[in-house]
Structure 1
Amino acid sequence: MNNLESRDGERAEEAEQSSMAASAMDGVAAAALRSVLHRVQQAAERSGRGPHQIRVVAVSKTKSVSLIREVYDSGHRCFGENYVQEIIEKAPQLPEDIEWHFIGNLQSNKVKPLLTGVPNLAVVETVDDEKIADRLDRMVATIGRKPLKVMVQVNTSGEESKSGVDPAACVELVKHVALGCPNLEFGGLMTIGMLDYTSTPENFKTLANCRSEVCKSLGITEEQCELSMGMSGDFELAIEMGSTNVRIGSTIFGAREYPKKQPK
């Protein structure tokens, strides 16, 4: 065997090993999802609810389209992304029946590319002021898509590094969305929690209290105001404290894979 054939053989072997490793990781993600759904079911039962009352958003930030597809093929349909550029690149490569949730900070200049690039966007969970609500409302009308479901993000931890409206101003922002934005559908409240992305019972209690005030102000039932709270480190506690929507990334997909910075 000459050197060229040897190198080709090595490349083929490396490609096969890489493919096998990717396949194994895909299998791990599907198994991890099943484990998460089982834990969700147990937490829901502890809170006196059924698992069908809890939505699991599989947060695929930094993950490949092929890995998302494997989780999709296992039966899951609800996925979340944090960055506009990432979701508008991934969504067209994946089935149209995916229910996409945008769960990152949204700037006004990113609203148009988000809405036009992801026709099957189901929810924006991070409306934190009237300006972004108005921008979403106008753009939904401009492009002629069906009303967009949104959640109001509340800063329950009081950290300056976190986006979200102050709990004391939550009701006013919700009223603006529900009564002043005809092309938006108010869906509920969302919080991220503490700086390390875990929450304390106080964070969850704060969001639940905000829901009580919102429901009283708008004259709606609690079932009409979802609570999006709980992530990989605290979703069971969140469900036990009333969450209807948990956002789970690393527990399903593994640690996030940020590109290494190139040397200058």
Structure 2
Amino acid sequence: MGINTQAYKAIRDEIAATNTTLVAVSKTKPATDIEALYHLGQRDFGENYVQELVDKQGALPDDIRWHFIGHLQSNKVKYIAPFVHLIHGVDSFKLLTEINKQAQKNNRIIDCLLQIHIAKEETKFGFNEAELATAMADLPNAGLNNIVIKGFMGMASFTSDTTVIAAEFTYLNNLYQHYQLAPNTDNYKPSILSMGMSSDYALAIAHGSNMIRVGSLLFGERNYTK
């Protein structure tokens, strides 16, 4: 149990030169583990479950930047809207509209990443290329004044074949670069390409990622039995 301090410092040193943000994925981990990383200087933490995120946010230091990285249902947005720093997995325009609505109620502007479907598995969520084009065309005139799209995120296929993973990362980076050319509006200010997890973050950074989500390397394997 506990955190892997050595791995944390090694990753932090590794990414320091690349201006990459490390999001420590703390889902199912106790507040004490989060506090241990916090005291080493970590401020960005990612959670997959709304209730767990709400509970931890209430119990932990106020200057933690909480990232929601799971699949978010529209009816749960209201619980995290008062404090969430960045919502990673926005996979539909409907969800974007709901986030905007809840942000407005809380007098906030909420930063979001659009999730792009890059993996071979059908179980992964996200916009395909055609849906993304439609969403980007609709964005400027949709009246979504309380959200800002900060970029894209994607999850590679669950495979040990690095050729497949590298191709998926390249594809997402190319899309990201393509939409860098879209005019920046008040609610579209791309600066984040989030891809890469414990098993493939180095490959992701090599293919343009500037935000990685690392869990098991820092916290050990997850406990889903509780």
TM-score w.r.t. length of structure 1: 0.77
Instruction: State which structure, 1 or 2, has the greater radius of gyration over its C-alpha atoms.
Output: 1
Is the contact made by 1:55 and 1:245 (CA closer than 8 Å) also made in structure 2?
yes
Provide the residue aligned with 1:14 in structure 2.
none
Q: Which residue of 1 aligns with 2:197?
A: 231
- Specify the code of the residue in structure 2 equivalent to 1:149: D
1:125 — aligned with what?
88
DSSP 3-state at the match of 2:114: strand
Residues 156, 191 of structure 1: 8 Å contact kept: yes
Name the structure 2 match of 1:91.
57
Percent identity among equivalent residues? 34
The one-letter amino acid of 1:243's match is S
Deviation at 1:158, TM superposition (A): 4.2
**Which stretch of the first structure deviates more once superposed, 201-210 or 245-254?**
201-210
- The equivalent position to 2:181 in structure 1, one of 207, 212, 216, is 216
Deviations 1:25-66 (CA, angstroms, capped at 9, x unpaired) = 43x43322112212324xxxxxxxx34x10000000110001
Query: Is the 1:59–1:80 contact (alpha carbons within 8 Å) kept by the matching residues of 2?
Result: yes
* Conserved 8 A contact 1:29-1:71: no
1:37 pairs with 2:12:
yes
* 1:21 equivalent in structure 2: none
Distance 1:72 1:30 in 2: 11
Aligned to 1:77: 43
Q: Report deviation, 1:103.
A: 0.5
Note if contact 1:175-1:218 (Cα within 8 Å) is conserved in structure 2.
no
* Cα distance in structure 1, aligned partners of 2:136 and 2:35: 35
**Alignment-derived partner of residue 185 in structure 1:** 148
**CA spacing shift, 1:107–1:254, aligned 2, 3 Å:** same
- List alignment gaps of at least 5 residues for structure 2: none
Deviation, 1:175, is: 4.4
Say if 1:155 and 1:191, in contact at 8 Å, map to a contact too: yes
Rounded to whole Å, the distance in 1 between the matches of 2:140 and 2:217 is 34
> Within the alignment, does 1:161 sit opposite 2:123 as a pair?
yes
Runs of 5+ consecutive residues of structure 1 not aligned to the other structure: 1-24, 42-49
Q: How many Å separate the matches in 2 of 1:64 and 1:175?
A: 42
Q: What is residue 100 of structure 1 aligned with on the other side?
A: 66
Aligned with 2:217 (options 238, 244, 251): 251
Report the RMSD for the aligned CA atoms in angstroms.
2.0
Preserved contact between residue 159 and residue 165 of structure 2 (Cα < 8 Å) = no
Deviations 1:55-114 (A, max 9, x none): 000000110001100000111101000111110111110001001110000001101112
Per the alignment, residue 6 of structure 1 pairs with none
Q: Does 1:173 align with 2:108?
A: no
Provide the secondary structure at the position in 2 that maps to 1:152.
Answer: strand
Higher helix share: 1
The residue matched to 2:86 in structure 1 has which SS?
strand
Distance 1:185 1:224, change over 3 A: same
AA at the equivalent of 2:6: A
User: What's the offset of the Cα at 1:169?
Assistant: 2.4
Supply the AA of the counterpart residue of 1:156.
I
Aligned residues: 220
Instruction: For CA contacts below 8 A with separation 6 or more, give which structure has more relative contact order.
Output: 2
Asked if the contact 1:152–1:173 (Cα under 8 Å) also holds between the matched residues in 2, the reply is no
Pairing of 1:20-31 with structure 2 (within 5 A): 25-26=1-2, 28-31=3-6
